[in-house]
Structure 1
């Protein structure tokens, strides 16, 4: 192995040669690790009675995936306050105070309905 001090004294050509040697060794180590991992995986799969070719992500049983939440369009208003047309209600959810006050005051809900 090289000491940091030795590396500092080497020429650029020597360093590039060592870099090439390290890249070759790294590539060989990666290939070796891949082969070992493949053997270990084949052994593990064989314990369950399968082969590596039978097992793949595309053949895996489908699992529940997260549903993509779609943004809902706002509902169209169905009722409008006869005294202030800017106050509207879709007819869904809690009744607004103005709607309740109008109904209690005797106004029919159909009278507040916005025509289509």
Structure 2
């Protein structure tokens, strides 16, 4: 790079465009490196847990990537699967597939209520 004080407007624009292109290239390389490193670290952590007989699900209680909301209590179940009582739904959020299927088969919400 030559002395920027002696450059013309066109030269400055060309240098700036080249610098921006190089910066984009460097940022992309950083993101790719971070992605590779995270995969490596995950593998190392899974191997360490595996030696002890655990999994990542054990470590995070089966809720990887989700943080509990402070003060939020789990809503009680209002609906139960007609055949598998272990499947319930609180009536909040997205309707589970089994609930949608039961309604499509002609059942009413009252039929599934607990």
TM range (shorter): 0.3 to 0.5
Please give the TM-score of this superposition, normalised by the length of structure 2: 0.43
